[in-house]
Amino acid sequence: MSISRTELGLTTTVARALIEAGCVQFRVDEPFRLPSGWTSPVYMDCRRLISFPKLRHALVGESLQLLRERGCLEGIDAIVGAESSGIAMAAWIADALQLPMQYVRKKAKGLGLSTQIEGVIETGDRVLLIDDLMAAGESKREFCRALHEVGAKMKDIFVVFDYGVFPTAGMLDRWGVSVHSLANWHDVLVAARSDGLVDERSLNELEAFLKDPVAWSHAHGGIVWTPR
């Protein structure tokens, strides 16, 4: 898979590849209910990428190019994968960069002092957190807290896909991190419409959702969620 770039950086080529790999799911009549309580007519399952070696290789290459362009790899000591869906992508990127890797759990487990972190991490290590996607952002907040507690320094998070619709502004400000991604739902809408990959009814519902995600979620039984 080759990925052409636009002036905005992220392109519909990645979104098209995700659609073709079956990562994008539509449900018009019975919306998806996400862990945050939001409802959505679409769902992204990036976990499928582990089964497509050519696609994952291409996405790793594009991820590294994006991260280099944005200065996210400068001075990095280690790559940290987010439990559980971010671990595979983190391993591929760490291997490509020949860097140490750890992973961070969603909840503490075991008897050690750093029970949310698996692997060797030292106070002051500069790390890049990798996950498969960014939705409401609550899990990212927990990962940032856990890494901060063991003395890791982090300024960037990378995800393959960012929902890009939830009110996550300010969610991660406490840790001063920025989130970078290869695609979002607006890219999916453009890619699906241009290539006729998805039926028109599903696309119309996605378009309505993107115009006002809060109102759409509320009208379809979801909570009107705001960051804590």
Annotated binding site for 5-phospho-alpha-D-ribose 1-diphosphate, which residues? 105-106, 109, 131-139
SS3 for 192?
helix
How many CB atoms lie under 10 A from the CB of residue 135? 22
How many CB atoms lie under 10 A from the CB of residue 45? 16
CA distance 188 to 22: 12
DSSP letter (8 states) at residue 111:
S
For residue 185, which of 23, 5, 3 has the smallest C-alpha distance? 23
For residue 107, which of 139, 129, 153 has the smallest C-alpha distance? 139
For residue 80, the cross-strand partners are 102, 129
Annotated binding site: 105-106, 109, 131-139
CA distance 188 to 194: 10
